[in-house]
């Protein structure tokens, strides 16, 4: 189609650009209206599955687009027995609620980053679109419902990487979010990070799940992602990285050949031990011991065992019950985890020693969006947002997800 628009110049460049945006929206509505009609029928009877539908005639419907509302006369179908109606245009054009797919993609993307009020303000300020908050929530919920419904059947490709993948770390952790009926509960986050031979991270896949009693659903999804990655990179070294929680290691030992305790969790226990042995106030003796201990733990083979012996030897000299308890906690932690503290060996092989990728994912995927001031979530709403955020933050998946909607359609709109 060929469209022509006349746009006046403003008094300033800012005003000129705003007038251009208005002109783009006007021409966009005209073009989108014409494009939508390409997906309607001519009114002839149609067969859907094994059922015959006949047109009830054309009725007008307003569609929300990136440019504005567009009214279109389209055929609505029904069987001879009556019942639910069927609109070929909505199905063929991949309409989500009453939004065109491109606008639904825009809305759901913005919704992964902020609530409906922020999305409405963003659309009005940057796109010249005034949209009701309820519409934004309905569209985001519909898109999220597709993501949730297709988690098991839609496969997403890991991006093709130019460099060889030498190491893959797998991590999982939990972080609290506020649920409407249960108060603070633990949401789960998992990461699968790909590294090159130099130990530089190339790609990360994120998996997250809302609080549930037990972790079965989350574990199944993470295992599916691990299976997919192992099929792509069977020769890579697989490392489990986590804090000291026993459940994490039970899972990671099944899927990785090397398990490494997060270095910074070990350092936290050394810091507590230093407070117990040398006093909570800063002093040279404590500072020297802690700096030397952290350096040795990171760079010298067998340092964890030696530090454990040093702390055990110091324990009888502690008189304060609180300090004794703090030091004993560090001794127990090192006793249980020292076989996962082979940091010098890992660094020599350019293997990661910190679970920062997973801990950052807890903050980015969950905390930044789900734990803003005053927020409390119902299970379904939280599932929708976390599912969309994982698609958004796992590079390449957002566009793959929308390519599948473009190809297979929108089940919730039929």
Cβ-based neighbours of 320, under 8 Å, separated by 6 or more: 276
C-alpha dihedral sign at 151, 111, 396, 96: positive
Look up tokens 């060996």; give the residue: 345
Q: What is the pLDDT of residues 291-322, one digit of tens each?
A: 999 999 999 999 999 999 999 999 999 989 99
Taking 50 as the threshold, does the pLDDT of residue 413 lie above it?
Answer: no
- Which spans in 128-170 are helix H? 133-149
Q: Measuring CA to CA, how many Å separate 5 from each of 13, 31, 163, 182?
A: 19, 12, 48, 56
Q: What is the pLDDT of residue 93?
A: 97
pLDDT over threshold 80, residue 411 = no
User: In the prediction, which pLDDT does 181 show?
Assistant: 84
Q: What is the pLDDT of residues 325-380, one digit of tens each?
A: 999 999 999 999 999 999 999 999 999 999 999 999 999 999 999 998 889 999 99
The enclosing H or E element of 69 equals strand 69-79
Tokens representing residue 209 in the block? 């799940």
**Mean local confidence (pLDDT), 72-97:** 95
The residue among 237, 227, 211, 249 whose CA lies nearest residue 355 is: 249
| Alpha-carbon span 280 to 270, nearest angstrom | 13
In 103-182 the beta strands, taken as DSSP E runs, fall at 167-179
What pLDDT shows up at residue 244?
Answer: 78
Q: Judge whether 143 and 108 are in contact, CB under 8 Å.
A: yes
Considering the entire predicted model, what is its pTM? 0.90
Picking from 177, 196, 195, the residue whose alpha carbon sits closest to that of residue 186 is: 177
DSSP, collapsed to helix, strand or coil, labels residue 198 as coil
pLDDT digits (tens, 9 = 90+) for 125-152: 999 999 999 999 999 999 999 999 898 8
Phi, psi of 181 (to 5 degrees): -105, -15
Q: Could you read off the pLDDT of 225-269 as tens digits, one per residue?
A: 999 999 999 999 999 999 878 889 999 999 999 999 999 999 999
Q: Which residues lie closer than 8 Å to 27 by C-beta, 6 or more apart?
A: 3, 5, 67
Ordered DSSP codes for 373-408: TT--B-HHHHHHHHHHHHHHHSTTHHHHHHHHHHHH
Note whether 337 and 305 are within 8 A (CB).
no
Geometric angle at alpha carbon 116, from 112 and 122, rounded to 5°: 85
Q: What confidence category does residue 414 fall into, taking pLDDT thresholds of 50, 70 and 90?
A: very low
Name the CA dihedral angle for 130, 134, 137, 139, rounded to a multiple of 10 degrees.
Answer: -70
């Amino acid at each position: 189609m060929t469209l022509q628009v006349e746009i006046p110049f403003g008094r300033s460049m800012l005003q000129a650009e705003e007038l251009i945006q208005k002109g783009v929206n006007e021409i966009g509505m005209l073009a989108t209206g014409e494009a939508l009609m390409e997906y309607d029928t001519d009114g002839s009877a149609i067969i859907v599955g094994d059922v015959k539908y006949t047109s009830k005639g054309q009725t007008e419907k307003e569609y929300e687009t990136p440019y504005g509302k567009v009214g279109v006369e389209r055929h609505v179908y029904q069987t001879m027995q009556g019942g639910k109606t069927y609109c070929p245009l909505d199905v063929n054009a991949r309409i989500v609620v009453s939004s065109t797919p491109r606008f639904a993609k825009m809305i759901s993307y913005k919704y992964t980053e902020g609530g409906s009020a922020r999305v409405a303000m963003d659309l009005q300020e940057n796109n010249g679109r005034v949209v009701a908050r309820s519409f934004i929530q309905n569209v985001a919920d519909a898109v999220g419902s597709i993501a949730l419904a297709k988690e098991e059947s839609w496969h997403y490709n890991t991006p093709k990487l130019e460099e060889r993948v030498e190491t893959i770390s797998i991590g999982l952790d939990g972080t609290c979010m506020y649920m409407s009926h249960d108060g603070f509960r633990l949401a789960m986050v998992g990461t699968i990070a790909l590294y090159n031979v130099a130990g530089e991270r190339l790609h990360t896949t994120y998996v997250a799940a809302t609080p549930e009693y037990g972790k079965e659903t989350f574990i199944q999804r993470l295992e599916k992602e691990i299976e997919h990655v192992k099929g792509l990179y069977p020769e890579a070294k697989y490392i489990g990285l986590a804090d000291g929680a026993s459940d994490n290691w039970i899972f990671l030992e099944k899927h990785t050949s090397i398990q490494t305790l997060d270095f910074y969790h070990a350092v936290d226990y050394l810091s507590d031990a230093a407070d117990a042995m040398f006093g909570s106030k800063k002093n040279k003796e404590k500072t020297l011991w802690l700096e030397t201990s952290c350096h040795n733990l990171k760079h010298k083979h067998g340092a964890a065992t030696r530090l454990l012996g040093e702390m055990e030897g110091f324990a009888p000299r502690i008189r304060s019950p609180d300090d004794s308890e703090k030091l004993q906690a560090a001794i127990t932690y090192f006793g249980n985890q020292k076989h996962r503290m082979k940091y010098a060996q890992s660094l020599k092989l350019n293997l990661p020693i910190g679970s920062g990728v997973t801990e950052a994912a807890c903050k980015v995927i969950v905390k930044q969006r789900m734990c803003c001031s005053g927020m409390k979530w119902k299970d379904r709403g939280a599932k929708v947002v976390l599912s969309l955020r994982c698609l958004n933050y796992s590079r390449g998946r957002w566009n793959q997800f929308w390519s599948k909607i473009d190809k297979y359609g929108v089940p919730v709109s039929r």
